[in-house]
Amino acid sequence: MPTPEAIRAALFSLQDQPYRDFTAKLIPDVDPATIIGVRAPAFRRAAKEIYRAGENDAFLRQLPHAYYEETNLHAYLVSQGKDFDAVVRGLDDILPYIDNWASCDSIRPPVFAKEKARLFPVCQRWLKNEHPYTVRFAMEMLMTHFLDDAFTPEVNDLVAAVESDHYYVRMMQAWHFATALAKQWDATLPLLTEHRLAPWVHNKTIQKARESYRITPAQKALLHKLKVK
């Protein structure tokens, strides 16, 4: 049973100072002193070993964590659970401590793909949260799980209804709608032609969609004409 101290020591044993400096530049909102600097392959191997070792309750109770990688590890351990309700409870605990886009976007619970009907109302609840990265995570889950066979127009409506000045929330909105244009063009285009998005999100959606290989040249030409000033 790994103790919180042993887990921290294991992470520090994988420290790469140049990578730490690189990571700090990618997430400027995070204090560099709280970044250990563990490269992704090494982090994933360590996280899997810690998860397999089990009995991580002491570590999971230790909130907030002191280091960026500890927070990411906490989210990983919670996300690997097989019980949907337990995963949601665990995420409700850790999401308030997520303070950057990289940590937020790394959370991908496998169980969610099997429980979409139960996930949808949870996403609706998270969208109403005041914490921006909880909102961003909710939108990412909608983008990941509800733009294919599970799509309904309500998915786009929910994301469009989010009002925020937070840069990383608005970026996720644009990412969502650019992906929705690629996957659900006919249902998504009216959000642009009817100017239902905030101008910044509207234009960023067009930019990201026009950068996508999944959007045809004809579609990109039409989108270009829809930019707003």
pLDDT in tens, 53-64: 888 999 999 999
- Please check the confidence at residue 19 and state whether its pLDDT lies above 70: yes
Q: Which residues contact 86 (CB under 8 A, 6 or more apart)?
A: none
- Please check the confidence at residue 26 and state whether its pLDDT lies above 80: yes
Contact (CB, 8 A) for 135 and 129: yes
Average of per-residue pLDDT across 14-36: 97
Q: Tokens for 206?
A: 């067009």
CA-to-CA distance for 140 and 107, rounded, in angstroms? 10
CATH 1.25.40 fits 116-229, yes or no: yes
The structural domains of the chain, with segments of one domain joined by +, span 1-114, 116-229
pLDDT at 201: 98
pLDDT in tens, 210-219: 999 999 999 9
Q: Tokens for 81?
A: 């659970």
pLDDT in tens, 47-106: 999 999 888 999 999 999 999 999 999 999 999 999 999 999 999 999 999 999 999 999
- Please check the confidence at residue 1 and state whether its pLDDT lies above 80: no
pLDDT at 55: 83
| Residue 187 amino acid letter | A
pTM of the predicted structure, to 2 decimals? 0.95
pLDDT in tens, 109-137: 999 999 999 999 999 999 999 999 999 99
Q: What angle do CA 133, 19, 61 make, to 5 degrees?
A: 45
- Percent of the chain scoring above 70 in pLDDT: 100
CA-based torsion, 68, 72, 77, 81: positive or negative: positive
CA-to-CA distance for 136 and 117, rounded, in angstroms? 20
pLDDT at 2: 80
